[in-house]
Amino acid sequence: MKAKVILHRKRKKRVEQGHPWVFQSEIDEVIGDFTPGDIVDVYNHNHVFLARGFINPNSQMMVRVLTHQEDEQIDSSFFVQRIKQAWAHRQRFIPNVTSCRAIYGEADFLPGFVVDKYEDVLVVQIMALGMEVQKESLLEGLLEVFQPKAIYLRNDVYVRELEGLEQEKGFWYGESPTEIEIVENGVRYIVDIENGQKTGFFFDQRQNRAAIQPLITEDAEVLDCFTHTGSFMLNACKYGAKHVTAVDISEHAIETAKKNAALNDFSNVDFVVANAFDYLRDCVQEEKKWDVVIVDPPAFAKSKHAVKKALRGYKDINLNGLKLVREGGYFVTASCSYHVHPHMFMDMLTDAAFDAKKILRQIHWDGAGYDHPKLLGADEGDYLKFAIFEVTTRK
What is the β-pairing status of strands 221-225 and 243-248?
parallel
State residue 392's pLDDT score.
Answer: 98
Name the residue type at position 142.
L
Per-residue pLDDT of the chain (395 residues; tens, 9 = 90+): 789 999 999 999 999 999 999 999 999 999 999 999 999 999 999 999 999 999 999 999 999 999 999 999 999 999 999 999 999 999 999 999 999 999 999 999 999 999 999 999 999 999 999 999 999 999 999 999 999 999 999 999 999 998 999 999 999 999 999 999 999 999 999 999 998 888 888 999 999 999 999 999 999 999 999 999 899 999 999 999 999 999 999 998 899 999 999 999 999 999 999 999 999 999 999 999 999 999 999 888 878 889 999 999 999 999 999 999 999 999 999 999 889 999 999 999 999 999 999 999 999 999 999 999 999 888 877 899 999 999 999 98
Name residues whose C-beta falls within 8 Å of residue 286's C-beta, 6 or more positions apart in sequence.
none
The 10 Å Cβ neighbour count of residue 190 is 17
How far apart are alpha carbons 23 and 69 in whole angstroms?
20
How far apart are alpha carbons 258 and 263 in whole angstroms?
8
Q: Are 364 and 329 in contact (CB under 8 A)?
A: no
State residue 303's pLDDT score.
Answer: 83
Q: Which position among 225, 237, 283, 336 bears the catalytic label? A: 336
Examine the residue annotation and report whether 225 is marked as an active-site residue of this protein: no
Q: Taking the C-alpha atoms of 121, 122, 123 and 129 in order, what is their torsion angle to the nearest 10 degrees?
A: -150
Grouping H, G, I as helix, E, B as strand and the rest as coil, residue 56 is: coil
State residue 102's pLDDT score.
Answer: 98
Q: What is each CA distance from 191 to 253, 271, 296, 309, in whole angstroms?
A: 11, 19, 19, 32
State residue 295's pLDDT score.
Answer: 98
How far apart are alpha carbons 259 and 203 in whole angstroms?
19
How far apart are alpha carbons 190 and 231 in whole angstroms?
11
Name the residue type at position 91.
Q
How far apart are alpha carbons 329 and 389 in whole angstroms?
8
Q: b or e along 145-172 (b: 16 or more beta carbons within 10 Å of the residue's beta carbon)?
A: bbebebbbbbbebeebebbebeeebeeb
State residue 207's pLDDT score.
Answer: 96
Model's pTM, two decimal places? 0.93
Which helix (H) or strand (E) segment is 318 a member of? helix 307-323
Q: What share of the chain is helix, strand, coil (3-state, %, to 5)?
A: 30, 30, 35
CA angle 98, 102, 105 (to 5 degrees): 170
Q: At what angle do helices 231-238 and 251-263 cross, to 10 degrees?
A: 30
CA angle 45, 50, 53 (to 5 degrees): 115
CA angle 52, 53, 56 (to 5 degrees): 140
